[in-house]
Amino acid sequence: MTINDLRSVLKGRVLLAGDDGFEQAATAWNLTVRQPVADAADADDVAALVRYARRAGMTVTAQPSGHGASGDVEGLILLRTGLLDKVEVRAEERVVRVGAGVKWGQVLAAAGPLGLTGLSGSAPGVSVTGYTLGGGVGWFSRKHGFASDSVRAIDIVDADGEPGRVTAESDPELFWALRGGGGDFAVVTALELELYPVPVLYGGRVIWPEHRTREVYDAFLEITAEAPRELSVWINRLQPPGAPPMVTLDLTYLGEAARGEDLLARIGKIEGAISDSRGVVPVADLGDITAEPTDPAPSIARAELLTGLDADAVELLLAKPVEPLINVQIRHLGGALAEPGDGAGASGAVTEPYLLGLLGLGLPHTADATRAKQAEVVADLEAYISGRKPYTVLSPGETAAKSFSGGVLARLREIKRARDPHNVFRANYPVLG
């Protein structure tokens, strides 16, 4: 079979290196990753592509938006599902149905005016499907758990190119695997997710100059030690290129503003804030809190789960400058993430209370220094690092084994071999890798 055979069965584009539009279509969110691409026009296109790949002995990897790309695409057909972008909110059922190309900003914009939200992350440009298949740890996870555990039904194309609908009743094993185990088992064309009521959302970002960092960390430790599940607080040491270093607290509270202000009264004792955007936040504007970039960028990220955060750990974190990194972030976890319900998916539980994130530029003249600094921070905090990490924060060079216990990984591998014996599908971080 040839690439022209594939072009004859798909309504969407099929691009190879050298074709007009290939460079833009093949670009992942992280511009340090390059990959080849096919663009599906609809769910029928997805099925046709999978059947083609099965016959040709090729492998398909699906990426709605390119977030989470690992760069390991040798011999693969990259499937883009961005055109599957329909959003349907069924407010009376508190359910949203999304196509595989839908991004979180679209869901929040549709659900927010109805007093509802999904379990999104911090960036509205991230795809719902990719984020959710990998578990999804976001603003409201302390209250409601992984995004993957809010899934109620999944439309797929299986390894034979046949469409299907997967629920807890119709196929409990595949349903479990797809909720947190990644995209190694089928191509997802649509998800149905539970929505959650948000009568009021309070939140924002407070920024201080660098010399307030110790005080802000002390406040962060004090607040997170007693925080209710409705409150999420993240701390950042920022070093924006060409700007002075600073420290920020990002926060959301699922409740009335007055109660949120009371819970965060400790913040008001820190003088010299550069800015303070706290207030009632429309759900549709959730992404404005951290104001993360909306365009792809050459970046290198590394994340680690921390078993704790005490005064000694803070000393280690503050002993050295952030440069050449852009951000050293710590997110408070716990709550529902540590206590999954009976119907939890493959993500299981995260018992570690904090998530460390290290972000730097991946430009040719900065990449080596960025990786070296990340390794240095991790080495300094070795006594606090658990060694595992959520699937959605894996980085190029890491494997799915970092995200799952031995028993969970063995179960995922068994399901992979049973459902995709010819290895038609390959996730960004495959369970057999």
Going by the DSSP 8-state scheme, the letter that residue 297 receives in this structure is B
Residue 178 lies in a domain: no
pTM for the whole thing? 0.89
Measured between its terminal Cα atoms, the distance across the chain in Å is 27
| Cα 122–chain centre separation | 9
Please tell me whether residue 322 adopts helix, strand or coil conformation: coil
pLDDT at 56: 82
User: Is the separation of the CB atoms in 86 and 106 below 8 Å?
Assistant: no
76 has pLDDT over 90: no
Distance between CA atoms of residues 279 and 260, nearest Å: 9
64 has pLDDT over 70: no
| Cα 315–chain centre separation | 29
Residue 165 lies in a domain: no
Distance between CA atoms of residues 396 and 76, nearest Å: 16
pLDDT at 221: 97
User: According to the per-residue pLDDT averaged within each range, which of 35-39, 103-107, 394-398 is highest?
Assistant: 103-107
Residue 91 lies in a domain: no
333 compared with 427, residue with greater pLDDT: 333
pLDDT at 39: 81
pLDDT at 7: 62
Which amino acid is located at 179 in the chain? R
Residue 120 lies in a domain: no
Task: Please report, for the chain, how many H helices and E strands are present, in that order.
Answer: 12, 19
Percent of the chain predicted with pLDDT > 90: 76
- The model's confidence at residue 66, banded by pLDDT at 50, 70 and 90, is very low
φ/ψ of 144, rounded to 5, equals: -120, 0
Mean pLDDT for the stretch of residues 176-189? 96
pLDDT at 34: 45
**One-character DSSP codes across 237-258:** EE--TTS--EEEEEEEESS-HH
For 135-145, the pLDDT digits (tens) are 999 999 999 99
1 compared with 126, residue with greater pLDDT: 126
30 has pLDDT over 50: no
pLDDT at 93: 98
Mean pLDDT for the stretch of residues 17-27? 57
Residue 80 lies in a domain: no
Looking at the DSSP bridge assignments, the partners of residue 164 are 156
pLDDT at 292: 83
For 263-313, the pLDDT digits (tens) are 999 999 999 999 999 999 999 999 999 988 766 678 899 999 999 999 999
User: Is the separation of the CB atoms in 388 and 123 below 8 Å?
Assistant: no
407 compared with 3, residue with greater pLDDT: 407
- The model's confidence at residue 316, banded by pLDDT at 50, 70 and 90, is very high
Rounded to a whole number of angstroms, the CA Rg of the chain reads: 21
Residue 370 lies in a domain: yes
C-alpha angle 28-34-37 in degrees, rounded to nearest 5:
75
Domain that holds residue 300: 202-393
Residue 81 lies in a domain: no
Mean pLDDT for the stretch of residues 353-376? 95
Distance between CA atoms of residues 429 and 49, nearest Å: 21
Q: What is the mean pLDDT of the chain?
A: 90
Residue 266 lies in a domain: yes
Distance between CA atoms of residues 100 and 10, nearest Å: 17
67 has pLDDT over 80: no
User: Is the separation of the CB atoms in 187 and 154 below 8 Å?
Assistant: no
User: Is the separation of the CB atoms in 85 and 101 below 8 Å?
Assistant: yes
- The model's confidence at residue 218, banded by pLDDT at 50, 70 and 90, is very high
70 has pLDDT over 70: no
Among 374, 239, 365, which residue's Cα sits nearest to residue 301?
374
- Structural domains in the chain (count): 1
User: Is the separation of the CB atoms in 309 and 221 below 8 Å?
Assistant: yes
Mean pLDDT for the stretch of residues 94-100? 98
3 has pLDDT over 60: no
| 316-346 exposure pattern, b = at least 16 Cβ within 10 A, e = fewer | ebeeeebebbbbbbbbbbbbbbeebeeebbb
For 51-62, the pLDDT digits (tens) are 988 888 888 988
Among 170, 164, 159, 167, which residue's Cα sits nearest to residue 192?
167
CATH of residue 383's domain is: 3.40.462.20
